[in-house]
Structure 1
Amino acid sequence: MSKSRLQYVCQACGYASPKWLGRCPACEAWNSLVEEMGGEVGSQRPAPPAVPVAMTEVVSTSQPRMATGSAELDRVLGGGLVPGSLVLIGGDPGIGKTTLLTQACRNLAEAGHLVLYVSGEESAAQVKLRADRLGVATPNLLLLAEANLEAILGACKLEHPQVVVVDSIQTVVKPGLSSAPGSVGQVRECTADLMRLAKDQTICVLIVGHVTKEGQLAGPRVLEHIVDTVLYFEGDRHHAYRIIRATKNRFGSTNEIGVFEMRETGLRDVLNPSAAFLSERAAEAPGSAVVCAMEGTRPLLVEVQALVTPTVFGMPRRTVAGVDYNRTVVLLAVLEKRAGMALASHDVYVSVAGGVNVNEPAVDLGVAAAVASSLRGRPVDPTAVAIGEIGLGGELRMVPQLEKRALEAARLGFRRCIAPAPAAELQVAGIELVPVSQVASALQHLIP
């Protein structure tokens, strides 16, 4: 006779133990094991033998992607939604995940695709309020306020939609499991069933996932392995701009980002993010420098701000937002040693305007220029952009795709680009490339 077995499952990684443990031995998380009923022992039936097929006999069918109506979202997806794919989108609460997907559903429905929107968190009336605000008025968009997985799968078989959105996967319940909604077992099994739905019926399924306080997707790590694409929707809720990026994409690049602006009427694509991030820049203020970062194939000009003030404590303070903290501390040490700046007696605050995060080494020179400008009280040349990695010896190192960065700076009206010495071999129309080899010489060009 089959019987259910009791087990304790870690809600962080999915590790199962026959007894309760205070600390998970797999992920070392404390107090994360929750009591769950496992599958029935002895109830498994042998599966029929599978017949392999030669690779040369497999018939490949290419189906056109479905455009979401958002150029920024399509860029990150690799050109649009792929039929039969499973897409997971995560982000902090209130960042705009539901708004983004509602707008995408509206555009897909208006293009003639049948879309099913499943809400497990809100009632149909609450979803309708948001839809009215976003201007949704199409019969091709179906709404289902349901958390039961069997009911959701039954609606999909009945209506045959081309796109299904599940908001969110942590609220969906599979009746055959005794664990609570949002538990590791429920999230894993519900996602697996939705994946089979997408593959069997060639439906594009998008699921919304919650995130933990550490910023990671809630649920088992296997969740990110099951899906085809993982998107993160991020940004500062106190700023208008939002960024979506892919950390996994089986049908496209993971180096692209999409930029949106949150407005009362929803999210708007920012097709020229460089101009948007520099629109409020005070060019004559000390402590401000413009750098060019690469996000995939897109050059992005942003403003780096620094504030250097005498410290009133024995230990100077270092506060950083938008760039890597450890790298900034190294840059301050290089400036003190190689450029003769007395920063040990000063507090240093560094921030990237607009709530953007840029962590590549190419912004080193811009950070150094902003710090030196604030310390000296003189502004950086407003017509110059700083590009280059700084080594521990104070040397300026080459960065990839320098020509594309310089072209973006020239398009926005900058006349000079302070760059590493190998830039002397490049010719870029509309902008003067000033090659330098040391950070001290670069600061002389940037801060007249």
Structure 2
Amino acid sequence: MRQTWRWFGPRDLVTVDDMLQAGVEGVVTALHHVPTGAVWSAREIEKRKAELSAMKDGAPSGLNWEVVESLPVSEDIKKQNGEWREHIANYKVSMRNLADAGLEVICYNFMPVLDWTRTDLNWRVSTGATCMRFDYADFAAFDIFILARPGAEEDYPKTVAEEAKARHSAMEDAGREALARNVVFGLPGAAESFSLDDVRRHLSEYKAISAERLRANFIDFLTEVVPVAEELGIRMCCHPDDPPFNLLGLPRIMSTESDYKAIMDAVDSPANGITLCTGSLGARPDNDLPGMIERLGDRVHFLHLRNVKRESSDISGSFYEAEHLGGDTDMVAVVAAALAEEKKRKANGRADWLIPMRPDHGQDILDDLNRKAQPGYPSIGRLKGLAELRGIMAALSH
């Protein structure tokens, strides 16, 4: 597997020099400053490539931008309202500009309103390290009492709703503000940052959109962009829902293997593929991750390797970001399945036989605890994860 690293550009506290010292082979990044729906210009793309091509002292880094994460899909496209047709046209222009710059893999998602969601960004584990956590009762407290979504209480089991009420009552104003900020105002890589009123407006507009309607809108989007991807030699890969279960009464359509298969079958093209995130999909106990790679592996264009520890056996439940080898996902089995898929591709003569992967997220450990980097993206915690994954790859390939 091609060992890559997510980088948020010059503002990232993890530098180009840090990536090189971690042994990274390629870089995953995006133009986070460009508004969703706007064109990614050739000039801005080349600027980002130049920013990661040099070390602090000006020496060439040898690193290249290899995966786009993410070229965001606007809410207008997902809902098919407002400027959605213009946004699709702009998306195609961005794809062409990326292809002209040598980019071949584009990761994106189709999550409505909220991108990936957590309730705690610095949850302490027994070692003293901190990590991100999704607490189902805290999220219910946000949904029912802070956002005050009509009918929200009915979407939760009675015991969860009661716990949410107790927790909200015990929170100070600062705690309520922190919870709202964590859930709504945007995490690293999120396409947009919303206010509470923004979320309420979007939720109102999504009331008429069922899971079937959202899936149909997704297929319409793919019908437009996949032929362009085929023409350009680009591999599109959709990231799963995170968490992979219903939130805020919104439809979730990329949470399971059957969700992915439905989309792959609807727009049946090698250019229409998967970002298989073991952390997102692993938050559901019914997802068989090694099996997904075995059955859908020819369409897996990008791997996010991370682990979570589930706190219940329910489909919807609390979990936290575990060490890469310490959660509920059998990471050795996942890596073995990915290596087997690569071997199969190579035997079939596929030019894209080597699958890019990145050590996704990581716990804040050692000096990470004082650096205050982007939540989930510490330097040492991810380096530890990469080292562990690299060890598995070396052992299984020996």
TM-score, normalisation: structure 2:
0.27
Structure showing greater radius of gyration is 1
Between Structure 1 and Structure 2, the one with more helix by share is 2
Between Structure 1 and Structure 2, the one with more strand by share is 1
TM-score, normalisation: structure 1:
0.25
